[in-house]
Structure 1
Amino acid sequence: MSPAPQRLKVYLATPRGFCAGVDRAIQIVERALELYGAPVYVRHEIVHNRHVVDRLKALGAVFVKELEQCPPDRPVVFSAHGVPKSVPAEAKTRKMFYLDATCPLVSKVHVEAERHFREGREIVLIGHAGHPEVIGTMGQLPEGTVKLIETVDDARAFTPKDAGNVAFVTQTTLSVDDTSDIVGVLKDRFPEIAEPHKEDICYATTNRQEAVKQIGADCDLVLVIGSAKSSNSQRLVEVAMRAGARAAYLVDDASHVDWAWFEGVNTLGISAGASAPENLITDLIKAVTDRYDAEVIENAGVLETVTFKLPRVLTQA
């Protein structure tokens, strides 16, 4: 007789997976394909998830690095992370039809940065170097205008031209706790620093981190579904560890799980980054329940009701 499967409590974080900005960006590509046929070109990954990108490729989307790879007679979509101002300017010069899928909450940060620039402030951007969102935000203003700060040490070392005329904005997908520490240093050093009217870290990032905090302390192991390129997904792993999880890993999907991680595990937490589709979570839960006597418990998290409208050109067609 084979031994009974190991018992396992599975805590499912809520909310998890797609946010409104990701959902809108994907819908823009899908709707463009419906209206204009294939191919529709997309500059960079529409969101940071291989499964999403592969599905859109199968529908007729072509992903490129730069506009010069796009024919001028086909639609091109800009990714949810936002783009420097030079990109739509180039598209206009080439008379291209483009659709901007930038998340409205990222666009809010762009508007804030431009307002501070107009008002003559020295601007600090809290974020991760090389991330597409950071490149896009810094690219809203002349080169050298925005100073990037990644860590508390960077905040301590920052020396503005005028300590009384500084402002900060942030990437939308950062760790809430890490960013709070950096902002704390900036406010201590520059009491008059101008800050966002409403926090730049988006509601979805905040809610997903809070949900992982709620389950993390009770878990021997936490698995977060998401891409290694995804900032918000990486932050969820860090949040789980800080919350008290014994181990936490980022996985693309169920096929990337190392089942040796489950040795001695009695409690498992599952979450997903904001660009991970729900079917990947369903597949992971099935893979776990196929192997273990698992009780799945969904935590009572925030109910998200945010939606963003599609560009008018797509809804009026």
Structure 2
Amino acid sequence: MATPLSATSISQSPRREVRRAAVLGMSQETRDAWNRLVRRLSGGALTLLGAPGPNRVLLDRARRSGALEGALDDPSAPTREVVIPFTGATPHQRQLWKDSDYKITDLTLPVIRRAHVTMKLLDAEGCRLVLAGHPGDPECLAIAGESRGVAVIESADEAADLPFAPHTGIIFQTSISSQRARTIVEALRHRHRDSKVQVLDTLSPVALRREQTLRDLARESDLLLIIADPADPSGRALYETARWLGRPARIIHRFDDLDPDELQDFRHIGLSAGEFTTDDEIAQVEMQLLNL
């Protein structure tokens, strides 16, 4: 059930009203993973095999706490303990580090682990595999793993261009918008009417709640601001939702990304934030909006 708009927090200044979406920013899964990393860093240095998640702020904070940096595909590290990031790794990458006798702390988010398992189930059924998501995104690369011939597509046009297959299995990058997922599935079904299209929904439940509360927020806002690192696909998904609703929207990483002059005409601003945006990033933008 969607969280009602009445749960939205409201802040006011003489010039404007700022409403926070009832669900925004980090899910509990991401908070737990981040807190686990912080606890591990308090016990000594370790090596991150990539940014913890797609937000430069998280990487900078981990560095300041003593984290060193490595890469998933390079099985050598300056510390004996290595960390698989929130977005996961392929089975082959995990095995490389195990074979090299490193201690592995795996912070893959549970929702992404479920997508890995779902992809394996479809692969075992022998169907043509489709992953709706952003090619090159770390999460997509990890989910696709070593599954044979996975087609990673991010638009309905790309779905319509896929060659015919008698049986197609499709899952979703956990953080894409529900609108994007739906249009890709509809395009596949429309293009190949004689093909069986099996859809296994791997969208994040929290991402869907963020979307719904953004829809609620849109009814009371002149402008929607999405706070997210440019690399965070969940932020882009919220922006897509706002634009799908026909509402004025901006996606920003910090307040400085805005032109203050363009805010002068907006008295009711709605705030949401992506999966990897921290609470203090949200609070800082809110405070600066009220003080402008």
Q: Normalization by structure 1: what TM-score?
A: 0.82
Paired residues in the alignment total 278
Whole-angstrom distance in 2 between the partners of 1:258 and 1:74: 46
Whole-angstrom distance in 2 between the partners of 1:46 and 1:11: 29
Name the residue aligned to 1:255.
Answer: 256
Name the residue aligned to 2:6.
Answer: none
Whole-angstrom distance in 2 between the partners of 1:243 and 1:216: 8
Rg larger in structure: 1
Rate the CA distance shift 1:73–1:235 in 2: closer, same or farther, 3 A: closer
Matched residue of 1:107: which SS?
helix
- Decide which of 155, 160, 163 is 1:159's aligned counterpart: 163
Q: Normalization by structure 2: what TM-score?
A: 0.88
Contact 2:18 2:290 in 1 (8 A): no
- Decide which of 19, 31, 38 is 2:39's aligned counterpart: 31
How far is 1:140 from its partner? 3.7
Contact 1:169 1:200 in 2 (8 A): yes
Whole-angstrom distance in 2 between the partners of 1:141 and 1:6: 56
Rate the CA distance shift 1:186–1:70 in 2: closer, same or farther, 3 A: same
Contact 2:45 2:67 in 1 (8 A): yes
Name the residue aligned to 2:185.
Answer: 183
Name the residue aligned to 2:66.
Answer: 60
Name the residue aligned to 1:294.
Answer: none
* 1:61-103 CA-partner distances (Å, limit 9, x unpaired): 1233345374375211111111122211110121111111111
- Decide which of 18, 21, 38 is 2:29's aligned counterpart: 21
Matched residue of 1:111: which SS?
helix
Structure 2, unaligned stretches of length 5 or more?
1-12
Name the residue aligned to 2:270.
Answer: 269
Does 2:279 correspond to 1:278? Answer: yes
Rate the CA distance shift 1:64–1:257 in 2: closer, same or farther, 3 A: farther
How far is 1:11 from its partner? 2.0
Does 2:141 correspond to 1:138? Answer: no
Could you tell me which amino acid in structure 2 is paired with residue 200 of structure 1? T
Whole-angstrom distance in 2 between the partners of 1:261 and 1:65: 41
* 1:9-31 CA-partner distances (Å, limit 9, x unpaired): 22211100111232132123122
How far is 1:249 from its partner? 1.6
Contact 1:77 1:100 in 2 (8 A): yes
- Decide which of 219, 222, 225 is 1:223's aligned counterpart: 225
Could you tell me which amino acid in structure 2 is paired with residue 210 of structure 1? Q
Could you tell me which amino acid in structure 1 is paired with residue 102 of structure 2? M
Could you tell me which amino acid in structure 2 is paired with residue 173 of structure 1? S
Contact 1:81 1:132 in 2 (8 A): yes
How far is 1:192 from its partner? 2.6
Matched residue of 1:265: which SS?
coil
Whole-angstrom distance in 2 between the partners of 1:67 and 1:124: 24
Structure 1, unaligned stretches of length 5 or more?
292-317
Whole-angstrom distance in 2 between the partners of 1:27 and 1:83: 20
Matches within 5 A, 1:1-317: 7-34=15-42, 37-66=43-72, 68=74, 70-71=76-77, 73-142=79-148, 145-160=149-164, 162-163=165-166, 165-188=167-190, 189-190=192-193, 192-196=196-200, 199-246=201-248, 248-291=249-292
Could you tell me which amino acid in structure 2 is paired with residue 230 of structure 1? D
Q: CA RMSD in A?
A: 1.9
How far is 1:203 from its partner? 0.9
Matched residue of 1:234: which SS?
helix
Bigger relative CO (Cα 8 Å, ≥ 6 apart): 1
Matched residue of 1:98: which SS?
strand
